[in-house]
Structure 1
Amino acid sequence: MEKQMVQCEDGRRRQARIHGEPKQEGDFRIWKAGVRLKGKHVAGEAWYSHKTKTWYFLADPDGRHTHLMERLNAQLKEESIRQLQAQLKVLESRHLIEQKKIAEHRAAMQALEAEIDATRDKIVKLEAGAPLESDRPLEYSRNVKRH
């Protein structure tokens, strides 16, 4: 029997008692193990990651006293879900703001494209020999008297 510090499902680090022969599954080696939680022995498996060199403990759903770990795990999971939902709400509001900005920029871009097309049309008309026309009608000067 060997002892290792493991990362439990509820996010806490505990000392696990590891025993038996390991089996290989992907990048993990897995042993039968148990941890102490609230004075009780919780049965499960110790998983060792070759990639991260980290030990994890997963409670056996059919093992003894796993309900203790499940309650803590459920509380942690609910809190994590609440935090992620709050983060999602912030991201969705930022997404909406960015969509509005895109719509405004799209409208500005279309107005610029229309102005570019109008300017190109004027250039074509001038090259063809048409007189340059003002966009506004002629206005009288203040100094000119009208009858």
Structure 2
Amino acid sequence: MTPPYPSDRWDPRQHAGGQLPGLTIQRATPAIDLQAQLIGTLEVDPSTHCLVVRMEASTPVVDGQHRVRFEPSYQLVDVAWPTGWSIAIRDGEVALIDAMGQTAARLGDEVYVGGGFVTPKQADAIPCTGHEWVFRASGLSGP
């Protein structure tokens, strides 16, 4: 399933009054890092104006003869980024900035996020999207 617009062309001047997208940030560094990995594309959720990771998935569909096939779909995941991370415009593009001030990723980039799914309370974060679960990030790497 294709998102409503290509995220690599997303321009804050054309959305939400020119505001940068929202971001979920952990308020404190967790004592223990989780060991799962989220792989997806960095995007902006058009319904909440929040930075998310689009995770590819598949949906099972049963036809009239009880055969199962899988249709491609996606899920938008609210990531609780580590303390000190932010969003900025770099080289004319929306970029995710790490705690050291370096560009970690840009919209449309494939990202590999270490961490795990927890409740916002467990992540010590207020979810930008309002979802009941967030992916508490411990780090980011590339493909």
| TM-score normalised by L of structure 2 | 0.18
Q: Which of the two has greater strand per residue?
A: 2
| TM-score normalised by L of structure 1 | 0.18
| Structure showing greater Rg | 1
Q: Which of the two has greater helix per residue?
A: 1
